[in-house]
Chain A
Amino acid sequence: MDTDAPVAASTEGKNLDPVPATESGSTTDSGVVIETRNLSKIFRDFWGRKKVSALKSLDIEVRQGEIFGLLGPNGSGKSTTIKLILGLLFPSSGRVLVFDKDASETSKNERIGYLPEESYLYKFLTAEETLDFYGRLFNMSGKDRKRRVDELIKLVGLQGAKHRQLREYSKGMTRRVGLAQALINDPDLILLDEPTTGLDPIGTREMKDLILALRDQGKTVLLCSHQLADVQDVCDRVAILYQGELKELGRVSDLLKVQDVTEVHARGLSDAAKSEIADLIRQHGGTVESIDNPTATMEDLFLNIVRESEARPGARRVSADGAASAGQAGSGQAGSDSSEDAGS
């Protein structure tokens, strides 16, 4: 990994952000972890006739310590890209380098964790057996495996169910086992294919927190998703794919920033004060588009209810107008609703 640095220079003609991905964290080495060069994938039928061109000349670099998101509608080539990176598919042309090794090399997998789109796990194994099995595949010793399996089961919160076969698991639980198996080797690079599908809002939140935590440990995360909110919340950089082509690539904060709109968050203002502020804006030649109370997201509301319920079990009192006590928590992220249109 230490020798990765020189490769970073050969960048593409896209509007790439020249700033290193992680300002915090491991700034010492911002080497390229994944590099695709002119990567294309054409699916052919048995007779070699072209069926679909799933990926066209993709050039991206994923750098160490960043969370990189692949975004796009269904069939845009996100999963194909991940599969090419993992060596599950062979490129029709171009190359993928992972840790400076060709994607077809098995040894790269030592440092990779992969959570597939659906948790493709052996239903006849228990959670503990599953993790132990994957631990063995990394040639881990018995002692290490035991320790790591216990750690991970605790991390994903499956202590109570570790002796049950996966066939009895709910989708969310299976997903957690899937995540645990992806982390069994303490990987440097984690590939997550639709990490939040099948998870409830709490699970989604936890997954996002975990992804951020992994980043903070200096790990590189590549995820693909069509849950735009997820991507926005966690990704440092995103690539947007459509019909196999790269349409946009850059830092999330830059891509989403609406340059000519200003947002002010304040608490405890009277109506008079608000109109005064509006007047002030007009005086300065600005246009007041709206002055309003922000709405929280459904996610925030839900998480808040759950948190409250955990603290005080029993029936929750709902006031007549339905607006229970979700207001405070939501204010921090209230502006996020406008993001989707701003990005395009």
Chain B
Amino acid sequence: MTLQPEDFWSFYEWLFRPNAFLESALLQGIVLFVLAILLGLMVGYVISAARYGPSEGFYAVARVVRDLVRFDLPGTSPRRIVALARLAFKEAIRRKVLFVVGLFVVGLLLAGWYLNPESDDPARLYISFVLTATNYLILALALFISAFSLPADIKSKTIYTIVTKPVRATEIVLGRMLGFVAVGTMMLIPMGFASYLFVTRGIRHTHLEVTEVQELSSGRLEGETDYIAGHRHTFSIDPDSGGRGLTDMVRGHRHYVIRDEEGNFEIGPVADALKARIPSYGDIQFYDRQGNPQDAGIDVGNEKIAEGYGNAGISRLVGVAKGPRRIEHGYVEGGTLGMAEFTFHNVDANQYPIRIPLDMSIRAYRSYKGDIETGIRGSITLKHPTKPIRSVPITFYVDEYTVDEQTIPLRIEPDVSDAASEEMLAGLVDEKDGTVDVFDAFVDEQGDMIVQIRCLDSSQYLGVTKSGVYLRAGENSFAWNLTKAYISIWLQMTMVIAFGVMFSTFLSGPVAMVATFVCVLLGFSAEQVYDTRYYIDAGIERGGGPIESMIRILKQDAMTTQFDVDEVAGKVIKTVDAGIVYSLDAIATALPNLPKMVGTAEYAASGFDIFGALLGRHAAATLGYCILAFLVSYFFLKSREIAA
């Protein structure tokens, strides 16, 4: 999982973007609201003016606004909202939507056959399966129940008996939304429990016996477990550990191995498989082969993926921010002065009382085949942020596509090769083993510490990103992390429901559903739209807009060649295309960033604690869109002739 710059933002940074207010979510929200209201008033006026004449039309629009502020908002009664929500809830329940939960459980049962427990990381497979399945199932359901209900009521005229009661449009809209959200919640809860059971049961297995136990001369016991569920572990028990040992990490888990006084071995259940790591990320700085600081590492190709436009917010739409912003791995060259330097903050003994866990997800790039068996070697060096104090490098082999859990002991040997550092370390070094306390020697007064990652094999490369190397400050419970992933799904569902209800106030059921679906789809393809827009702006030949690319397909032209049509026709096509792409761009910018929300599942699957700030952002965005959908729904419902 490679995090992008916006993932590191705190809620405050996301909302206000200090020093780059144009990119802030707040501004985007405000612009969206203002535009929506202006557009609404204009459209409302045009329709009313056509119906009642220019001056009457103005009054009609003004009356709706006045009604909202003076009567309908203050007069909105919780009891009526609850009554309508209960009705929507009962309707959905009596239409037996809860069968979907059954469907989900059946899906899980079938999935048990197809999900391979012998994969490299079964936990990841299971978690991402259950979350993806839940996500799409719930979104589809939200789409159906929200889009069809109100039109069905209008068609069957049951709405007549509602609107002839002192029920306000605000209450009808809110009641629907809340009712459907309640239905969705009712379904998400059992699905969440089922998912939890599925994941925990799915990875559960026990090794029954040990084989080939050897006692080394140091008194250390080494051995292997039996072969169960497609894998075996090796383990070791140190002589002074009281008979407690650990196996190695295989397929993302390990077991405790306990040897009792009679010499019998007992292997514990699966441990460390379901994690919610709480990372403490540092700031990254690359150095090139001469040791000069660089903004980015070496690009070994295919690393600059044209995405990440979305986080620029409005500033991209108005053309201030340009270009993709996605960050991929930056590489450092082996056997040179090149390295990646991470400055970690808040490193202190309270946070890391026993050892400092350093997790690494590092890529390797081989410029020659080399020793293919052993992997590329790298080194970890601790450094004081200001003083020239270094540790002796700790070497490691790059383990790609997993989280390599390294630990830095609290006492470590310093590098005393030059006189300056020796002087600085005076008094800190232990006489007996020549080690120093990490916190005393390498951490400055602010609690900062530098970790340098180098590649040791010359002409081979190591790739890192900011999120790839971090200190594991703690762990959260997996159950809570899964809950947070479900909260994210819940938020998406709420958003879809709000949109569905909004469209259903002025469109018929199927059309409302399609409209909502298109919104979801466009939200998911927003980055592609931004990408196309960027190419058009920057004059890069990448197939062009929809008409141009259609012509290219028909003419079987490659997308990077010159557009081969008559000059005038080409101009016209490009202009029309630009118009279409710009409009799509504006719409996509206005829509919620659903892929980002779906992306929270990736955190849970990769074993990372879902950041509170991320969830907070999603919650704030959901609330904003719900309010917007609510206002739009109100105006449509209010100005609609129910019996027409």
Contacts and interface: CB of A to CB of B under 8 A. Distances in A.
B71 A106 contact: yes
Given A106-B71, A107-B166, A116 B160 contact: yes
A243 to B, nearest CB: 20
Most buried by A among B50, B84, B160, B161: B161
A114 interface: yes
B192 to A, nearest CB: 27
Nearest to A136: B83
Interface in B619-644: 641-644
Interface stretch (B72-80, B137-145, B233-241, B579-587): B72-80
A116 B156 CA distance: 12
A106 B79 contact: no
Given A90-B641, A137-B83, A139-B77, A181 B161 contact: yes
A156 to B, nearest CB: 15
A114 B161 contact: yes
A89 B644 contact: yes
Contacts of B156: 120
Contact of A88 (B50, B91, B167, B642): B642
A89 B91 CA distance: 26
Given A86-B164, A124-B94, A139-B77, A116 B87 contact: no
A138 B161 contact: no
A134 B157 contact: no
Contact of B166 (A48, A125, A137): A137
Contacts of A136: 79-80, 82-83
B87 A133 contact: yes
Interface of B, helix, strand, loop or mixed by DSSP: helix
Given A43-B644, A88-B643, A106-B71, A139 B161 contact: no
A87 interface: yes
A87 B158 contact: no
A112 B164 contact: yes
Interface in B411-464: none
A87 B167 CA distance: 12
Interface in B132-175: 156-168
Most buried by A among B79, B162, B643: B643
A179 B201 CA distance: 56
A88 B163 contact: yes
B503 to A, nearest CB: 18
Contacts of B166: 106-107, 109-110, 137-139
Most buried by A among B157, B166, B168, B642: B166
A41 B386 CA distance: 83
A121 B158 contact: yes
Given A114-B164, A124-B95, A133-B83, 15 more contacts: A48-B50, A88-B163, A105-B71, A106-B168, A107-B75, A109-B165, A109-B167, A116-B160, A120-B159, A121-B161, A129-B90, A136-B82, A137-B80, A138-B165, A138-B166
Interface of B: 50-51, 63, 71-72, 75, 77, 79-80, 82-84, 86-87, 90-91, 94-95, 156-168, 641-644
3 residue pairs, one from A and one from B, having the closest CB atoms: A136-B83, A88-B643, A124-B94
25 contacts: A43-B644, A86-B160, A86-B163, A88-B160, A88-B642, A89-B641, A106-B72, A106-B166, A107-B71, A107-B75, A110-B166, A114-B164, A116-B157, A120-B158, A124-B90, A124-B91, A125-B87, A125-B90, A133-B86, A136-B83, A137-B167, A138-B165, A139-B77, A139-B80, A139-B166
